Chains A and B, each alone.
Chain A
């Protein structure tokens, strides 16, 4: 790691101020992706602004047809929340499958979404459920939020405050883990909710995306039969030593089918 200054503000306002004052400063939430990145010297922030003392950013509220999760809420707390399990069990299950127990004890939803790692799990839930990402300045629809590999609609210094997920009638997440890293090689979140039938795919492409053909098919008639013979296109998908684009495309189909079956 390169050396950096460290700040631990107690409010969103202070955090925003610190980030605004230094263009090369970076916010750190759980740090489960950022710290490994820094250790490899792949990033060189001048300062880290640690959000862990900002109490307002932590918490889960369920009501008004929505599950709202504070940005600094840890995966373990989403996974074990009785409210989330009741309102959106697929979301609790997704959180319960992120990384390993130690990662879940530190990692946060805000960090995951802000980082937009192409193999992260949460972005798929945001897209499929039509979540709204609330920042210190505005609200951003998930469809507008994820822009590309490690790229989001967040402006420099803009912080995620919370994420609101509309409760869905049916939803499930199925992940095929990259066998070494255990990140999503292909993760598919399916939902039948207020925004209709949605299928969001993570891990397979440069950034999370919606599989429109599957959505159309499920929109017509929700069920495994609707997607059973549907083939995802391999065009533009990632290819690496674990999986070529063809295999990833194939797995999108399998995981979608299994997710729909699990969603009921």
Chain B
């Protein structure tokens, strides 16, 4: 192993610039002559939109231009595309209504963009926005999915079947029905998976710029996947060929899914920059983010689990309503289907599963992937249901899990819901977690807490997830309208330094370090000789970006494949230089040697020769050392693990405090343990946030009641404990590094562990289930039998 190679807790290369204020985030850009855009948004959840009078606003100080949906229509600007189509049970296509960049005719959620005001300063743009004369007539709105399904409910989009976007299913309904007939016991649950807002600390921003000389557009944007944005915006919205559209996502301050999607503001600033002949900048304010970033989760589910007399799971049936919001965000339809229902086997051998998912339009902000995306919803459902099943059966919660685990010798394991898991050892992660959490000592801690007047509970969750969504051909067959491969270009420079151009994007994950470790390991080059470049479509051949914990399993494998090509080519050069047969060339620790001789060339010498090809056999060997690989995986990867949470509840106030949290995860091979642990910490914090704190609340009129940090509870330092984190790995069998992914495990495993702990703490109060977030008021309501409070 190279000193800074695979497995080393290398300090991050990117930290110096972030720590010294030299990061380069989109809002930090000040393009020469840039004007500022303010997006005027609907304050009504549902309204007709008539004429927009702009005359007064246009005369306001500093105003450069005002544009509305009519201006976009006049330029034939398209709507925002959806990247995944789902088929209904009957094989028909989902209802896919238009998603205009600026609203036309109607607004459908609070925050729906109506117009854009461009001025010399943002303050002037805002001043002028108040002078717009907008003809709107409010319509009845619907924010709640069950209400949206009732006859006579307000209809968000005409042309479909009420508010149903699609009615989809997966699995074997007959097998499930037969198994339920034989069941010894049936465990049931009704639950809500609460709507969340990703809340990356950097609000979204976009700067559009048009070069009159070359006709090239540049969009600087806070994106997790700039090439995807270039493709979607260029091809579907603005009709600009890739050759004249550069999308650059510089440093991005967190994403968590919310920066995957192509958003209206990106199209607006790009288009407007040519209209006004100046760069145009837009930056969201946080309360604007709440109204314009895609939200996450938002499921309502009924599920039943059939068990035999030994507590073995016989069958699972699941009926889920999934909120799409007012429009289809880029990947929204994939989340409650192929990233949710396919995970319903979890870590268990349940032989028959049937899931029905109805996606619903409501007058709310669009919903799409948020850290975990579908998989946390599946894990929460399963792990709550398993605890309920244990209670129904009078079985120990650990034992019922062990009894139903897919055994470690059963891999590859085909689930009844399409996925084939390649590897895992669920007993190992569970045993590791039980030990690290001192599970055995819990009852003593509970008794001690009782003496202090606190209710202490412990909860377990054992989960599996699917990362690196792939392969392209299968995803395509399931409705994906994009490929799911990744690209890496390794460019060895004449002096031996190396630049990696990756199609993945780092917005906190530390790719500049992790990828550099892969290269250092393989080429024996120091980390200081390696730069990792990402985010710029003019530099990087192509890429699908970073989401779904894919950057190492898919992007890292592309790097490995490109390195294979580099080594192959370098060996040819070495063979030539040392006058040996290529087959005799060995490469180790940065040195090329000829087997059985003391002849050697360093990697640096080979690099220089590649670019100074004097005496090169040019008929056989091209100059240069620069290789590109595209990698399309054979399968998903399947990280899994066990999380154990301990809480203490203050029965007087209902406040729940997480006092211990343990995570033992199987993330495949670990490249940088420091970064891996950091990813778990962050995911767990977001999972605890979902379980106890965070909630996106709409009132019956579609007004967002939790639209800022004054009401949306972000987990803060004093809300959380330090975590106990470890790994117990099995290797992925179908990628060369054996890596699985770690970005989402924390957010997937933790919410059910927390709620299982809360329910355990309240077991003497007859509690079976508590919906998230388990707020103080809700818990106090339960303890005090105040059902109305508990329901809120």
Please report A residues at the B interface, Cβ cutoff 8 Å.
1-3, 40-41, 176, 179-181, 240-244, 246-247, 250-251, 254
Contact = CB atoms under 8 A, between A and B. Distances in A.
Nearest to B711: A180
9 contacts: A1-B123, A40-B287, A180-B711, A180-B712, A181-B710, A241-B711, A247-B654, A247-B789, A254-B653
Nearest to B287: A40
Contacts of B789: 244, 246-247
Contacts of B705: 240-241
A241 B697 contact: yes
Contact of A181 (B711, B775, B784, B792): B711
B660 interface: no
A247 B710 contact: no
Among A176, A181, A247: residue with most chain B CB under 10 A: A247
A243 B653 CA distance: 11
B652 interface: yes
A242 B712 contact: no
A147 to B, nearest CB: 24
Contacts, number: 51
Given A41-B126, A254-B653, 16 more contacts: A40-B287, A176-B653, A179-B693, A179-B775, A180-B710, A180-B711, A180-B713, A180-B714, A181-B709, A181-B710, A244-B777, A246-B786, A246-B789, A247-B777, A247-B781, A251-B653
B776 A179 contact: yes
B125 to A, nearest CB: 13
Contacts of A254: 652-653
A242 B652 contact: no
B713 A2 contact: no
A158 B690 CA distance: 47
A2 B60 CA distance: 14
A12 B784 CA distance: 53
Nearest to B285: A39
A1 B776 CA distance: 35
B509 interface: no
B653 A242 contact: no
A244 B792 contact: yes
B781 A3 contact: no
- In order of increasing CB-CB distance, the 4 nearest A-B pairs are A180-B713, A181-B710, A179-B713, A247-B777
B62 to A, nearest CB: 12
Given A1-B123, A176-B653, A254-B652, A242 B780 contact: no
Nearest to A39: B285
Nearest to A3: B123
A40 B710 CA distance: 13
Interface in B224-257: none
Contacts of A247: 654, 776-777, 780-781, 786, 789
A178 to B, nearest CB: 8
A210 to B, nearest CB: 22
B127 interface: yes
A243 B713 contact: no
Contacts of B301: none
Contacts of A2: 127
B792 A180 contact: no
Interface in B747-791: 775-777, 780-781, 784, 786, 788-789
B427 interface: no
B706 interface: yes
A250 B652 CA distance: 9
